[in-house]
Structure 1
């Protein structure tokens, strides 16, 4: 309570201590300063928040880009080793022929620019390699073996890879003592070596090595591809986003610097070791880096996490380095070959703040301009308010000293103007009491004239009206406002229309009942700013102050109306409003853009996920083996693929395509892959158990997430191949039967006729000619039959009649030159048979008749064709010499085998009965459904 009273008491003395101008101006300026300062502060804080959000997104994108590119970069040495291993397995490279191997490694090193060394060491302590010799990447050949007395000798080369001169005779070199040699033997797979110094002492290497085994599983040697850590740093330098961003790699286990995007080398001189050149350098801890940012960030990471091994997931941090804020992204990077690194990306806050600082400066500048304008306008307004008060003060002091002639010149019509007029009136009244009466009229006239001059000089419109609507007085500014010099009598109801008074911002005349003068006639003082005076060429917005003038009895006799032209002020307010509207619209548009980008990114991620899910479902549902490979290494396969090749699904990822290809087809598959062939081709695949099967492959090369992959669909075509072979075999068997039943039979009979004709040429020329003519006719007939058989057409014999007539003609044709008697008989009513049955019965009959002609030496041959209701039978019987059935096998006699197969084909039952001296009978019976 005491403090409150003391505070009120203190403020009650403020007017006594400070001038009126100070009391009005200082609080006004302080308020404006507070508003402008708060606006600038909020703008700065919003910028800081935007920086944090953008920094987190950008850091994640940069880190992922570095991770993906680094993964591709580090995959290259192992891919080179795998390619060389495949070439050795396929016999394209012979590890015993170092000269050919040397040329291959040299050409390979020229292709893969990022790799510094590609080499091979065998089990005999021999080593050969092509190397870009540091520090200037001079192309060299380095060899160690019997020819160099096992010293590691370095040779310079020409562009073709030929050795030109010895650069260094070298020192004893034993690959078996090196980490890159022993580690892959122990792990039996591709592996990274420890980081080790180059034996020249000018670079640090990390080696990718892979064991090579022969077909018996014996070790042949170790393939080696080395990376120069300085080149990894140069690779990181090329991935930088901004001028001041840096990225570097730390080995998690030793906390040593592996590579950095700065120009700093990842090693230091080792002054304690001077004997061996390779011991003159050594790696160093990241916290000992000469780059102040690398050093500071590493120290802060060590301080925050203690042991870097505890960083298992992606981390985002921010530190101040040299009073400048930096954003840090730490990303673990490891592979299955022994790499366990940390990728650190450092981006200074200035990278993001450039545009935001520019916006902040623009905001501050606008705030300062607004502050200056507001302060100037406020001071002018306050000066306008306080100046008449000061004048009144001086005049009151002058009047107190008897200076009656002192007049107050205040060109205003507000309360201060009224006070000034009252003060002058009081002065005039006091002076009038001391002057003569004759001077009163003169003084009054002078006062009226002076007042008129004062009012005319005031830059605002002043008018006085009586309650009837009659204009009592207007000054010059008022006449200019209504564009009329002499104001006529206008009724109150017509005033708005006559003087073109409108409601501001509309096309509506100002309502009569709301005119300020009418309020004043009712005894009210009003202040409004929604009136416009319209002229043909311009519109004037005004601020109106109307006050009543009362007589001695308190009755309103006049209304004093003051109109102030606020055109410039309205323009200023509109500019400020437009600026705020533009600023709000820009903020809203940017917000919508950000929201749209976020929604689009989320939709893209959802679409990608759905696409991958659909692909997996389709891949698992298909009956084909689906594979996705990159550079010959399997990245994905479906369950059908695992079942087709006999593997578990988990075993397939990471395997080479050659592991599934039969050796005789590997060169073919390699050429298809290297040429990017997209189409269908057949090959032979190899299962896990060593068995092979024919397959049809459809492949396509495509881009996926920035990587070139090859998608293939593999189909086992074993059944199709077997069906094709069975079809070919069946057709070949059919042709063999047709050839036997046509040409072979015809030729056999022709040969018999010709043999007989040759014997008769000297004894009976007519018989010989008859036999030759019969042989010729048989040859023509056989040729015609063969052509029909090849074309799978109906036999020519059947084209001219039924089977009975065909057999009769065939028997007559072959037996006509002989004395054999032919008996043909049909039993029952002939009915049509299917073409297949007719053709096969004819061929069976032809074979039986041909055999009788060749072997039986019969005097009579009977041909009986019986047509019954449920079956049809063909019977051919001769009375020739016959044969022993037990001594003849159907399998060894092609004619009997063909008759048996033809009978089986049409479902007929074939029986053959014969015995020596008793002739032979062939019977074929087939069931018929009429």
Structure 2
């Protein structure tokens, strides 16, 4: 054996060890660099970021999260997300985060309200995603909070303005309808009486009699047109109560379209203030208009119920239905108008449909004043 072989092997082993050590040092340096980059990215992010354990306790937060909530880092690390979540948004948050922890979802998103340290309620778009260990188990969650409070306040102001404008329009429609009914209606009635007197006074003159008959027919058509315009602006039946107004809508639908309309208002006398009664009436009116235009239905059912705290309305047709996820300009604005009317009273609207399954529309309106969110 060559006496220099052991020395060569030793030299090679030394070089290999040196190379491996250098590789380990570079890997460690790269790992530290990546970790530092992630730390700087987390801490310096312009949106709120927080890591929470499975129970929801914060274990790391960035400065943007502190600024958003008004708490210091030390204060947040003594709390859990449940402590600063608005009670009305907590259930949805709990359910969504449970799905992420159970790995049923890779991400959960929610528009939610936070309660700041000073008591102010602020809105954020929150996205929660899981943090996994090397075995793929969820060890914690990462939450990212984008401040949308300004957008939400603008949205609220626009809805308030929209509700106010609709109220002004309804008031003006009511005023015009009553002017038409009281003033123009009386004048047309007087003219009809004059024509009747003409028939009596000049019945011996065939030419004048034919003219009076023609005038009478034209006047009857005009009075019917005036009645229809007045009813469309605001049906006189609303002055008799919501039940009477809905009965008028149902009868008018059957008369105009031949569609069978069944109205179920129970055995109780439902009394509502004018704002709520008008909203329910307009929702039913818009829904029946959509049935005539789009549904190709032969039957419609309307059910109205009043509980101690809220009013519910359900409208179901047996028409062709549609896919609610498919945009439809012909329905979009009508549905949006209904939603805004209901939301302005603190209520909510739900629409369900599928091709061939008809359309089901339900609204729930609190009977006590509630501010829309």
Using the size of structure 1 for normalisation, the TM-score is: 0.20
Larger radius of gyration: 1
Relative contact order higher in (CA < 8 Å, ≥ 6 apart)? 2
Using the size of structure 2 for normalisation, the TM-score is: 0.46
